[in-house]
Amino acid sequence: MSIYFDNAATTPLFPEVIELLDKLNRESFANPSSIHSLGRKAKKQLEKSRADIAEILQAKTNEIFFCSSATEANNMIFNLLDYDLVITSPAEHASVIESAKATTKPIHWLELNQEGFIDLENLERILQEKSQDNKKILLSIMHGNNEIGTLQNIKAIAELSQKFSNVFFHSDCVQTFTKHEIILQDPCPDFISASAHKIHGPKGVGFLYIKNSIQEKYSHKFKTLIVGGGQESDMRSGTENINAIIAFALAAQINNQKERRERVNSLHEYFFKKLNTNDFICHGPKNLEQRVNGNLNFSLNNCKLRSEELVLQMDLKGFALSSGSACTSNKAEAAFAIESSYVLRACGIDESISSRAIRVSLSSFNNFADIDSFFLAIKELEAKFPLKQMIKSP
């Protein structure tokens, strides 16, 4: 049985979620839009799940809209409103980057420092400059980076964006929802997106949060991506994936438990300390508190294997980890391993280092012994595939 260290890509279901889904799939099948009692019961469960998720975020129930994934939620946001310009970062998830490109609106790409942070003063200057002719701006900055774990200060970004009446702020919170506290009380983003399968819930369900004040002002202008029967208050048509939504709400409640976060945090700290030697080069923030809980990204100083080779060699030794984002590994260029992580490149990390980077992402299912055996396996690979020191020119 392999040791699973790829929880940023997806997570195993909580046993409680498996049990619930099993029961629901056997017993509950009604359409929540049906008016008979089975349908009304399904509707009640749907609304309870919405309320449970809203409660975790301290949001209002009518601010949560369910959809098929965070990819869909991100696409919805980019299609929802009229705006003239996108401001985003080159380290966003592909579903944001590709949505931004698909709008054909001008995109301003924010610079990142080596740890993956945007510069808030620079952002303020850019917002001021771009707002001069009152252009409408969609600002999209993720909360936690899926590859290198950088946690942006979304409260500060929200505060800044609220100084400008022409700016909408969206934050992709896929890697942080329930792993970090997110309170959707002002100042907070106008939109957030999240996904169930990153928090031990089922695949194929996500949500989009839309702040009430934005709904009140603009809902008559909203353009929805999927039209039809008008489910989800006309925001997203299609019969809701009701059993998966109920399971999502349960997974969110379990993953939001303080003890669970603390467990991941202590595993994270233990792993991070072991990387603090000359054998490794860590990527992303140096300060653990500024990292997504459980995310580690590093290159091996004494091993010549490139990222994908390392992942495959570790797989042979029984460890599932990754070389970066699972979503970009479908792209043609990734299949031939021509390019290293686009996130590390955006942070200015030299190709000779970024091409050997790997990502470990932990969950509360892991334990300290898993981590110890990981480092033993790495030692074996270093011995088998040593990196001959390059002769430096004088």
Closer of 127 and 210 to ligand PLP (Cβ): 210
Shortest spacing between CB 10 and ligand PLP, in angstroms? 8
Shortest spacing between CB 143 and ligand PLP, in angstroms? 9
Q: Are 356 and 373 in contact (CB under 8 A)?
A: no
Q: How does DSSP assign 166-225, residue by residue?
A: TEEEEEE-TTTBTTB----SSS--SEEEEEGGGTTS-SS-EEEEE-HHHHHHHGGG---S
308 binds ligand PLP (CB under 6 A): no
Of 279, 277, 297, give the one whose Cα is nearest residue 382.
279
Shortest spacing between CB 208 and ligand PLP, in angstroms? 11
Closer of 8 and 137 to ligand PLP (Cβ): 8
Residues 229-288 contacting ligand PLP, CB under 6 A: none
Backbone angles phi and psi of 386, in degrees to 5: -70, 150
Residues 327-386 contacting ligand PLP, CB under 6 A: 327
Which of these ranges, 55-63, 64-72, 75-83, 304-312, lies near ligand PLP under the rule CB under 6 A?
A: 64-72
Shortest spacing between CB 330 and ligand PLP, in angstroms? 11
142 binds ligand PLP (CB under 6 A): yes
71 binds ligand PLP (CB under 6 A): yes
Q: Give the contacts of 58 (CB within 8 A, at least 6 positions apart).
A: 183, 184, 185
**What is d(CA 337, CA 310) in angstroms, rounded to the nearest whole number?**
12
End-to-end CA distance of the chain: 49
**What is d(CA 25, CA 20) in angstroms, rounded to the nearest whole number?**
8
Residues 90-109 contacting ligand PLP, CB under 6 A: 93, 95
Q: Give the contacts of 41 (CB within 8 A, at least 6 positions apart).
A: 28, 30
* 3-state class (DSSP) for residue 322: strand
173 flagged as catalytic: no
172 binds ligand PLP (CB under 6 A): yes
Query: Among 7, 45, 49, 69, which residue sits at the site for ligand PLP (rule: CB under 6 A)?
Result: 69
Q: How many residues bind ligand PLP (CB under 6 A)?
A: 13
Q: State the catalytic residue, choosing from 67, 303, 327, 347.
A: 327
Closer of 32 and 206 to ligand PLP (Cβ): 206
154 binds ligand PLP (CB under 6 A): no
160 binds ligand PLP (CB under 6 A): no
- How does 365-391 read in b/e, with b if 16+ C-beta sit within 10 Å? bbeeebbeebeebbeebbeeeeeeeee
Closer of 172 and 240 to ligand PLP (Cβ): 172
What are the distances in angstroms from CA 25 to CA 152, 241, 250, 284, 312? 39, 11, 15, 41, 36
Tokens 């790409």: give the residue. 109
**What is d(CA 253, CA 10) in angstroms, rounded to the nearest whole number?**
18
Closer of 175 and 354 to ligand PLP (Cβ): 175
150 binds ligand PLP (CB under 6 A): no
**What is d(CA 311, CA 340) in angstroms, rounded to the nearest whole number?**
13
Closer of 150 and 175 to ligand PLP (Cβ): 175
Query: Among 202, 206, 294, 324, which residue sits at the site for ligand PLP (rule: CB under 6 A)?
Result: 206
Residues marked active site are found at 327
Q: Which residues bind ligand PLP (CB under 6 A)?
A: 69-71, 93, 95, 142, 146, 172, 174-175, 195, 206, 327
